Amino acid sequence: MRIFGMNWLKSCVFRIVLICAALASCAGFFSKEEPKPIYDVRSAVVLSSNSIPAAILSGVGDRVNAAINATVRTDVYPRVVLTIRIGYIAKGQGYDKSRNVAKITVDAASVEDGSVIAVSSFEVNSFSSSPAAADEILAEDIAARIRSVFSLSAGRA
């Protein structure tokens, strides 16, 4: 009886390993993502309504422009300028009032003819236990997301 139990256990483990190996080999067929387009970003401007704090506007602008200046492109890509629009900001959300949310839209316009060739829209969630630091942390989180979307280096503001 003991030998039967061990053989049965080995057989189940072998089957599970075999199934996992088969699934892992098939995963490569479904995970092919098209590479996102890369742009040669030349400058950025930040726009919003009067209700957005100036610290956030200048913080995002300074950080994104520093990242643009720090980014070196070795290949030729379409040259664009970014228009960053901060739609709204909601501060002090959540149970402990530490979550801040911002709705961002970024347009990439061609330097040659001014046509918009890419649009990115997203929400940024930021967490800060200090209300005094909330604007700076939110500005950094917004700039980090823009750096990620447009493949920019992490410049120093």
Task: Give the CATH number for residue 96.
Answer: 3.40.50.10610
CB-based contact 49:134 (threshold 8 Å) = no
Task: For residue 28, give Cα distances in angstroms to 24, 32, 33, 53, 99.
Answer: 7, 7, 11, 46, 37
pLDDT digits (tens, 9 = 90+) for 85-142: 999 898 878 788 888 899 999 999 999 999 999 899 999 998 888 877 888 999 999 9
Range of the domain at 49: 40-149
Establish if 157 belongs to a structural domain.
no
- How much is the pLDDT for 30? 63
CB-based contact 65:152 (threshold 8 Å) = no
Containing H/E element for 51? none
How many domains are contained in the chain?
A: 2
Catalogue the E-assigned strands of the chain: 40-48, 79-93, 99-110, 116-127
Q: Is the pLDDT of residue 31 over 60?
A: no
Task: Let me know whether 98 and 82 are in one domain.
Answer: yes
Task: Let me know whether 18 and 62 are in one domain.
Answer: no
- How much is the pLDDT for 63? 92
Task: Let me know whether 66 and 10 are in one domain.
Answer: no
Establish if 130 belongs to a structural domain.
yes
Task: For residue 146, give Cα distances in angstroms to 18, 27, 75, 109, 152.
Answer: 43, 30, 21, 15, 8
Task: Let me know whether 24 and 94 are in one domain.
Answer: no
